[in-house]
Amino acid sequence: MLYGRILRVNHLFTRLRRGLHSNSYAPARAREEPMLVLNCKNYAEATGSRLARLYRAAEASSRRHGARIAIAPPPHLVSAARSRRVATLAQHADDRGPGSTTGHVVPELLRAAGVAGSIINHSEHRLRPAEIRAVIGRLRSLGMSSIACARTAPEAARIAALGPDYVAIEPPSLIGSGTAISRARPGLIRDAARAI
């Protein structure tokens, strides 16, 4: 199912160019370009040879459309996922350093594994504002990107004030539903963009 959705990536870029963000992340700061992020969650369809096919499809679409694409594979596969054209993101990061931090996702170790940045505050892994700010700062100090998630336009504005590189907006009811926010709630995208 996941791979079938990825094959429609060319259609998503056409829509992205028109300003209809479908599963896309809007830059929180003017210097950033729009980027399409494919979050694989922990689906079995995003493992082994299927993950490699996903990266190849994303690379082809990136070349064809000249767009930035990033993939957030399942956490245990971040170091195995390599691409020159498509960035690899972590699905989460903690404000913890190397050492006695069992169970935490350490940004320094992500960076050493070739990960370009992290999704933060996804609806499936919420954080407090202070934690979001701390993780953004830690990622920035390492030269890594941050993509902070919001559920509503007012929350997007609050999160943008914390300084992430990108802000993603999607109500929890649409996550994993196969329904694009641009079709179900296009006004939410507009409201969030204005709020940011």
CA distances from 92 to 63, 66, 96, 173, 193 (A): 27, 27, 12, 20, 23
Of 21, 92, 155, 170, the active-site residue reads 170
Beta strands (DSSP E) in 41-159 are: 68-72, 87-90, 117-120, 145-150
* Residue 79 near residue 124, CB atoms below 8 Å: no
- Known catalytic residue at 170: yes
Q: Which of 122, 124, 125, 155 is catalytic?
A: 122
Tokens of 8: 């429609």
| Spatial separation of the C-alpha atoms in residues 147 and 122, rounded to whole Å | 9
**Catalytically annotated residues:** 122, 170
